[in-house]
Each structure stands twice: as C-alpha cells, then as structure tokens.
C-alpha cells in the first residue's frame, strides 16, 4: 500500500493505491482454478483529533479498481477482469516521537470495507473458484514521513 495525503489542522485527505499480488484459488481440485490479483485506488476524508504527539485517525471514503483472474489447469487458459468497488471506514492512532522528529510517525489503523461489487471467477463449467467477500477488515501498522511540518 502506498498512500499520500494532505493535512490542515484537524482535517485530512488521503489517497493511494493497493496492489495485491496473485493468489491461487482451487476450483474443487488442486490442479484447476484461478489466480487472482487486485489493483485498487482509494480516496478518504479524515478527521484528525488529538495532540501534537498522538493523533486519532477517523476516515471514510471509497476504493475502486480491478480484480484480474487467470485460469489454470484448463484446456484454454484465459484472463478476465472485474470491477472492484467498496465503501471504506477506518480508525487508527498515529504517534509522533516529539519535537526532535516531527516529520516521522508510527501508526496503527483498522480499515473496514463494505464491497459494493463482488468479483466472481469460474473455470470452465465448474463452480466459482473465487467469489469476493461482502465485508473485509484490514489491519495496518507502519511508519510515515510527513513533509512541510514546522518545529
């Protein structure tokens, strides 16, 4: 995940991209199925209450992109894409070590996604090898670098 953003006082806008590397899903037997990857972009509006060193992150937004599947183990393998869209809500906490390094921060965030579309991929005449979820929860831990912060 790569995220950029802009913050002013207690409001922020965050945008970024998520790329999920291909993962294999079997269609009833280990030799037949699909390999699914995701390429997504997201935009979130955030409220940022807190102090100089600890900030609470309260965000809502949307994610959209494409899920791409490639079949394997069938006579004629093929690729197919499907729209992926979700409404997002997240909450987290960011800690800035203090005046010595105001441009660096550590964060923990929990993001929930309500999927508005559910990609579904089949191989030949078999049941679906992959069906997207209705709801997902993603836990994120990381470091951030902020530019333009004054001491």
User: 111 CB contacts (<8 Å, ≥6 apart)?
Assistant: 59, 88, 89, 90, 137, 138, 139, 140
pLDDT digits (tens, 9 = 90+) for 56-98: 999 999 999 999 998 888 888 888 889 999 999 999 999 988 7
Residue percentage of the chain with pLDDT more than 70: 94
What is the reported pLDDT for 119?
Answer: 86
Predicted TM-score (pTM) of the model is: 0.81
Is pLDDT at 151 greater than 70 in this prediction? Answer: no
pLDDT digits (tens, 9 = 90+) for 117-128: 988 887 767 777
Q: In whole angstroms, give the CA distance from residue 10 to residue 5.
A: 13
């Amino acid at each position: 995940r790569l995220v950029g953003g802009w913050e002013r006082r207690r409001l922020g806008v965050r945008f970024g991209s998520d790329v999920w590397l291909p993962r294999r899903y079997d269609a009833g037997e280990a030799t037949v199925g699909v390999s699914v990857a995701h390429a997504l972009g997201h935009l979130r509006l955030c409220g940022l209450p807190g102090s100089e060193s600890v900030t609470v992150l309260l965000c809502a937004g949307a994610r959209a992109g494409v899920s791409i599947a490639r079949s394997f183990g069938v006579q004629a393998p093929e690729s197919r894409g499907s729209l992926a869209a979700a409404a997002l809500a997240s909450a987290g906490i960011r800690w800035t070590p203090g005046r010595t390094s105001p441009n660096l921060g550590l964060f923990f965030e929990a993001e929930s996604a309500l999927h508005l579309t559910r990609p579904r991929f089949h191989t030949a005449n078999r049941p679906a090898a992959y069906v997207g979820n209705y709801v997902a929860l993603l836990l994120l831990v990381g470091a951030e670098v902020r530019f333009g912060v004054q001491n």
